[in-house]
Amino acid sequence: MIVIMEKDYLKKDLNLVIDRIHREGLRAEPIIGVERTVVAVVGDITEIPEMKSNLEETPGVAEVQRISTPYKLSSRQVQKEDTIVDVSGVKFGAKNIVVIAGPCAVESEKQTVETAIAVKKSGAKVLRGGAFKPRASPYSFQGLEKEGLKILSKARKETGLPVATEVISPEDVELVSEYSDILQIGARNAQNFPLLKKCGKAKRPIILKRGLGETIEEWLLSAEYILEGGNKNVILCERGIRTFEVATRFTLDIDAIPLTKNLSHLPVIGDPSHGTGKRILVKPVAKACIAAGADGLIIEVHPNPEQAKSDSPQQLNFSEFEILMREVRKIARADGRKL
């Protein structure tokens, strides 16, 4: 940590800064510059989170800058090698690319099983489908809930595909874990800390979507909540952030994919369905995610997108998905990877 003093600080302010550092058992190294004076804090400060603000509050202090990342367990500095998340033999974070596909919402057994069969045929390795739906409006379809979970189980039985579904409340973590192979934490719950903590104790791997107003650093801190609880199986998912652009539903942050893989050892997948919100953009942006180094994709597929109860404008039909898979496969191969 580096403490930068105001230009016109008083001698006693500097002494107070040094005092406060010493009081915590750390070493203080003041550097008196021509233009500015700074004090370097030497020692391990991870156990003293309030230190930064204490110093910021000391009279005569202009700024305090951290020089290490606030997340630890999710950091590549702590673990060099990639984490591989294994879901019933499907491996995220290994060289192969994994595609998760299925309807935005589970609407019926027929719709779900039909979709599961179709996406499996095209090469998807995991089935997705929402049973608990977080919707901006209370008047929108809220999901089939437990009934939806049962349908997902049936679809797994029919196809052998492991299942991923969203959990939106800490109280539901156990219930959803019974039925689903992967728990998904959605963008709107990216900083729902009780939910993150509960998922840290869950037996299932977690897909952690990035919040729509969340920085990459905060995203990794959210992952930290899960890792810190003991659950090491976290898959990060970039799904678009909120920007001023109104022509797309969100802006998929393509930079975030290679950057997050650089900062963290966790697998990173892309969600071009939510990241664009427009059917015609899903395929090109899916290809871009893979070219940028994503470990997989999550894609919304529906037998009749125009009749879907949610996210209708961004779901693909079976043949659109088949074409997407064919093209993504080529990109993966060009990149020396398999799908």
Q: Which of residues 151-180 bind a copy of itself (CB under 8 A)?
A: 168-171
320 CB-near residues (< 8 Å, 6+ apart): 279, 282, 283
Among 10, 32, 88, 110, binds a copy of itself (CB under 8 A): 32
- Which residue lies nearer to a copy of itself by CB, 81 or 306? 306
Cβ of residue 158: shortest distance to a copy of itself, in angstroms? 26
Structure tokens at 184: 């998904």
Kindly give the pairing relationship between strand 234-238 and strand 206-209: parallel
H-only helix segments in 100-214: 109-122, 146-159, 173-179, 193-200
Exposed / middle / buried, residue 210 (Cβ in 10 Å: 0-12, 13-18, 19+):
buried
Cβ of residue 159: shortest distance to a copy of itself, in angstroms? 26
Among 192, 231, 233, 273, binds a copy of itself (CB under 8 A): 192
8 A C-beta contact, residue 249 and residue 256: no
Among 81-89, 111-119, 189-197, 201-209, the segment contacting a copy of itself (CB under 8 A): 189-197
Residues 206-265 that bind a copy of itself (CB under 8 A): 211-218, 221-222, 224-225, 228, 241-248, 251-259, 262
Q: Does 49 engage in binding with a copy of itself (CB under 8 A)?
A: yes
Cβ of residue 90: shortest distance to a copy of itself, in angstroms? 24
H/E segment holding residue 303 = none
Q: Does 280 engage in binding with a copy of itself (CB under 8 A)?
A: yes
Among 13, 18, 24, 70, binds a copy of itself (CB under 8 A): 70
Q: Does 106 engage in binding with a copy of itself (CB under 8 A)?
A: no
Cβ of residue 233: shortest distance to a copy of itself, in angstroms? 17
**Separation of alpha carbons 204 and 206, rounded Å:** 6
Kindly give the pairing relationship between strand 85-87 and strand 206-209: unpaired
Among 83-91, 109-117, 174-182, 325-333, the segment contacting a copy of itself (CB under 8 A): 325-333
Q: Does 71 engage in binding with a copy of itself (CB under 8 A)?
A: yes
Q: Smallest Cα–Cα separation from 40: which of 18, 68, 24, 57? A: 18
Measure CA of the first residue to CA of the last residue in the chain; give whole Å: 44
**Separation of alpha carbons 23 and 134, rounded Å:** 48
- Which residue lies nearer to a copy of itself by CB, 41 or 144? 41
Q: What is the largest CA-CA distance in the chain?
A: 76
- DSSP tag of 127: E
HSE-up of 133 (CA within 13 Å, CB side)? 24
Among 118-126, 153-161, 177-185, 330-338, the segment contacting a copy of itself (CB under 8 A): 330-338
- DSSP tag of 50: T
Among 9, 17, 58, 265, binds a copy of itself (CB under 8 A): 58
Cβ of residue 81: shortest distance to a copy of itself, in angstroms? 15
- Which residue lies nearer to a copy of itself by CB, 89 or 230? 230
Among 56, 147, 174, 178, binds a copy of itself (CB under 8 A): 56
Q: Does 146 engage in binding with a copy of itself (CB under 8 A)?
A: no
Count the residues of the shown chain that bind a copy of itself, applying the rule CB under 8 A: 112
8 A C-beta contact, residue 181 and residue 163: yes
